[in-house]
Structures are given as structure tokens and as C-alpha cells.
Amino acid sequence: MYLMADFREQSKLEAAILALKAAGIDADDMDVFSEEPVEFHRGILDRPSRMSLVAVLGAIASGGLATAGVYAAQHNYRLVTGGMPVFSFWGTGVITYETTMLGSVLATFGWFLWESGLLRKRDKSIPVPTVLPGVMCLRVHCSDPHVTRARQILDSAGATDIARKEVA
């Protein structure tokens, strides 16, 4: 069961989210849809992210793999170096650096697709609201016993339009 409530003011939307959370609805069961990003105050609708960590891990993995590959290649296909070491940081540092950055870029992009849900298979039975400019739509997933209470909260918080959608 989904409730969809439109808000025109961010403060009212924030109040509704806080009240719904106090009523026992999990933040993961709420989504806000809008045509532009809405910045909530900390503690309202936090979405913890591991993107920075993934970017660092991607960088380490890519840079490490590339360096290992270069090391193996230089030792297996020895070039004449005029007395210089076959493998050295000064000679291959740029390759390591650039591949580290490439790993970071790709990991960030990949994680963005995953975290935003764009890459994941979607449940088409979940309703997605069509949002008008300037409107923020709060979608709440709640079980039957919570519906009446949630509706009351949304109503009293100042939602301009509340719709109820059954899951197919």
C-alpha cells in the first residue's frame, strides 16, 4: 500500500517525514520525488552512502592492477634500459596515477548507478508519481494498520493532495 502526498513547502514536508518516522514508519519506506534536488536538514531523510569508499577502493584496485601488470610486462619483456632499472616508479608512476584515477572514475559512476537505483531491476508494481514543477511528492510505503495514521499525519502536516495506491 502506498500513500502519495504533494507538498509545496519544504518545511511542511520535513514536518511530515519527522512525524511519520515518530509513528514508526521507516525512512527507507519513504521517497520524495521532485523536479529539482531537495536538500533536507540532517536527520530528516538521511541517505547514507558508501560512494566515497567505493571510489577509493576502485582507485586502489585499478592502480594496483595496472602497476602489477606493468611490473609483470617489464620483467617478462625486458627492454634495453641503459643500466636503468627495468621497473621503477619514476618510469611508470604516471601509468599508475592515471589508472588509479580511472578506477576511481569508473567506480564512482558504477556506484552512482547502483545507489540511485537506475541500474537495478525495478518492481513495476510500485507507483511512481508524476511531479509538477515546484511540487514535492512524498511516497510512503505502509502496511494496512498504519495507513489511517499516516494519512492523518500527512493531512495535518499540510499535504495539498493525498492519493492512495494499492500494489498490484
Contact stretch for other proteins (CB under 8 A) within 1-9, 88-96, 144-152, 155-163: 88-96
Q: Helix (H, G, I), strand (E, B), or coil: what is residue 42? A: coil
Per CB under 8 A, 45 contacts other proteins: yes
Distances (CA, A) of 92 to 19, 58, 73, 77: 57, 19, 12, 15
User: What is d(CA 92, CA 71) in angstroms, rounded to the nearest whole number?
Assistant: 9
For residue 14 the three cell numbers come to: 520535513
Per CB under 8 A, 34 contacts other proteins: yes
For residue 22 the three cell numbers come to: 515518530
Per CB under 8 A, 6 contacts other proteins: no
Per CB under 8 A, 33 contacts other proteins: yes
Instruction: Judge whether 55 and 103 are in contact, CB under 8 Å.
Output: no
Contact stretch for other proteins (CB under 8 A) within 4-12, 76-84, 141-149, 154-162: 76-84
Q: 8: which DSSP letter?
A: S
Residue numbers of the site for other proteins (CB under 8 A)? 31-38, 40, 45, 47, 49, 51-52, 55, 70, 73-74, 76-77, 79, 88, 91-92, 94-95, 97-99, 101-102, 104-106, 108-109, 111-113, 115-119, 122, 128, 131, 133-134
